Amino acid sequence: MGHHSDQHLIKRLKEGDKQAFITFIGQYKHMVYTLALRIVKNEEDAEEVSQDAFLKAYQSIGTFKGDAKLSTWLYRIAYHRSLDCLKKNKRKPSTTQLQYEEVTNIQIAEMTWDHMERMERKQIIQRALGELPGDDGVILSLFYFESLSLKEISEVLNISVNSVKVRLHRGRKRLASVLEKMMDKETISIYES
């Protein structure tokens, strides 16, 4: 969404325009849910976190100063709500695999092999991201899947840009290691079957 459109939406949200809030949710629901799911690793909790994040955003829109993009501000809220959910449930981010939406047979038949390979690679990477400790998977997801800048990630996580760079570097190394282990397991299982 462009800067001008964001400003218009923010103005309408601050005026209490309910249609603007519906638009706001429509534009950002996937982004918020994806971030929450990466952190809480549970679809039900991710849905609850998403609802909480939008409610908090709605209640706090009057305090939005505009020094960050609207999406960055919302990411920050969703990130903290996700951490609150983990604390409430007294668990750390687990290394369990993310649950993926099932693709129907009709959709598979319509897909090209190239598209299926891209989806498979993306799922493997997402599975590997889910195995990374702490915020490593979140930072890599924000950078590569959500295309946030280093500055935006630093604002979401409330850390310095240099810390984001270090964590990205560390996360890439850990991701490579996890992917290497996953590929070895898959290769071994192919020969064992």
Q: Each residue of 111-142: pLDDT tens digit?
A: 454 555 666 777 778 788 888 887 888 888 88
Closest CA to 102 of 43, 35, 147: 43
How far, CA to CA in Å, does 160 sit from each of 11, 64, 152, 179? 29, 21, 10, 28
55-84 CB burial, b ≥16 within 10 A, e <16? ebbeeebeeeeeebbbbbbbbbbbbbbbee
Q: Which of the four pLDDT bands, split at 50, 70 and 90, describes residue 90?
A: confident
- Parts of the chain belonging to CATH 1.10.10.10: 103-193
Fold of 103-193: Arc Repressor Mutant, subunit A (1.10.10)
Highest-pLDDT range among 38-47, 97-106, 121-130: 38-47
Share of the chain above pLDDT 70, in %: 77
- Parts of the chain belonging to CATH 1.10.1740.10: 1-94
Q: Mean pLDDT for the chain?
A: 78
Instruction: Please report where in the chains the tokens 């092999």 appear, as a residue.
Output: 113
For residue 183, give both structure tokens: 């590929």
Highest-pLDDT range among 2-16, 64-78, 99-113, 147-161: 147-161
- Count of CB atoms situated within 10 Å of the CB of 40: 24
159 DSSP 8-state letter: -
- Least confident span in 44-58, 78-92, 151-165: 78-92
CATH pick for 1-94 out of 3.30.590.10, 3.40.630.30, 2.120.10.30, 1.10.1740.10: 1.10.1740.10
Predicted TM-score of the model (pTM): 0.60
* Torsion angle in degrees (nearest 10) through CA of 2, 119, 78, 68: -30
